[in-house]
Amino acid sequence: MRKTLVIGNWKMNGSLAANETLLDALLPAVKGLGGVEIALCPPFPYLSQAGWHLKDSGIALGAQTVNEHDSGAYTGEVSAAMLKELGCRYVLVGHSERRSLYRETDADSAAKFAAAKDAGLVPVLCVGETLAERQAGETEGVVARQVQAVIDALGIAALTDSIIAYEPVWAIGTGETASPEQAQAVHAFIRRLLAEQSEAVAASTPLLYGGSVKADNAATLFAQPDVDGGLVGGAALDADAFALIYQAA
């Protein structure tokens, strides 16, 4: 049985005061809803603040990226062990904004994925095609390349206890969402790709959809057989919207 999850990615948003308000509103709104895991990924400086608030709430803590090295002269970077020490359970790897704005490659994603696993974190590997790639009929090729880069580097067993998030780049932060059918088609493709290499990994790996998930489209997206929850950006900054998305899952 795969778990269902909703993960909120705050991106580079928030302040001590704004986070306080958001968390105070969110915690009661999601209390008592069982069966679905929920996690929040604040910016690094707010991990302690969020972790303190989320203690005993049942909501897990995650980070938005991680450095692939254990320690050393990597100014500005944060290691997986540091995230673990701060109470993180999840870490996003290869988010499209990291890939496009900071030129992170498939090989970087594989190295970060490995560092996360080594530290006992659950990596959430983000994959997805740009609009130009979709229009050129390259969606499956791009997604397969991004997933396979991790498998080729680390072996299929490394995907045990990990998560894959399909996030079409054209839907992230644009207000444009993949239709439930488009999302299901790519999720089913990823599931088949995994199954060719391990039936067990394919059956147990949650596949999240991300890309302008909102309160009013979450239920139909999450109703798809291969969509196991969502990775939510903008709507995760609104306690009511995020609680509704969580309820939809």
Q: Look up residue 121 and give its amino acid.
A: L
> How far is 200 from 180, CA to CA, in rounded Å?
25
Question: Known binder of ligand: residue 112?
Answer: no
Which one of 68, 95, 97, 104 is the catalytic residue? 95
Question: Known binder of ligand: residue 212?
Answer: yes
Which one of 53, 104, 167, 187 is the catalytic residue? 167
Please confirm, yes or no, whether 167 is among the known catalytic residues: yes
Question: Known binder of ligand: residue 141?
Answer: no
Q: Look up residue 157 and give its amino acid.
A: A
Question: Known binder of ligand: residue 234?
Answer: yes
3-state secondary structure of 111: helix
Question: Given the rule CB under 6 A, which residues bind ligand PEP?
Answer: 9, 11, 167, 172-173, 210-213, 231-235
Helices 139-154 & 180-195 angle (0-180, nearest 10): 30
| 98 vs 202, beta carbon nearer ligand PEP | 98
Check residue 209 and report its DSSP letter: E
Q: Residues 77, 108: contact at Cβ < 8 Å? A: no
How many C-beta neighbours within 10 Å does residue 171 have? 23
| 46 vs 202, beta carbon nearer ligand PEP | 46
CB of 166 to ligand PEP, least distance (A): 10
Q: Which residues are annotated as a binding site?
A: 9-11, 173, 212, 233-234
Q: Which residues are annotated as a binding site for substrate?
A: 9-11, 173, 212, 233-234
- Which are the catalytic amino acids? 95, 167
